[in-house]
Structure 1
Amino acid sequence: MPWTHAEVEELPGFEEFRPLFTEQERAVDEEDRERADVCYTQIRSALTMTLPDGSPVAEFMLHIHDDGTAGWRWHDESFDAVNQ
Structure 2
Amino acid sequence: MNTGDVWRLHHEGQEIARLTVTGGDFPWMHATIETLPGFEEFRPVFADQERAIDDEDPERADACYHQIRKSLTMTYPDGEPVPEFWLHVHGDGTAGWRWHHEPFDDDDQ
TM-score, reference length from structure 2: 0.70
Unmatched tracts of structure 2, length 5 or more: 1-25
Higher strand share: 2
The aligned residue for residue 10 of structure 1 is 35
Q: How far apart are the structure 2 equivalents of 1:18 and 1:10?
A: 10
Q: How far apart are the structure 1 equivalents of 2:35 and 2:82?
A: 21
- Is 2:58 aligned against 1:58? no
Q: How far apart are the structure 2 equivalents of 1:10 and 1:39?
A: 19
Of 5-14 and 17-26, the range deviating more from structure 2: 5-14
- Is 2:68 aligned against 1:48? no
Q: How far apart are the structure 2 equivalents of 1:75 and 1:52?
A: 14
Q: How far apart are the structure 1 equivalents of 2:35 and 2:28?
A: 20
| Alpha-carbon distance, 1:58 to partner | 1.1
Identify the match of residue 24 of structure 1 among 49, 65, 68. Answer: 49
| Alpha-carbon distance, 1:16 to partner | 0.4
Which 4+ runs in 1 deviate beyond 3 A? none
TM-score, reference length from structure 1: 0.90
Identify the match of residue 95 of structure 2 among 41, 45, 70. Answer: 70
Higher helix share: 1
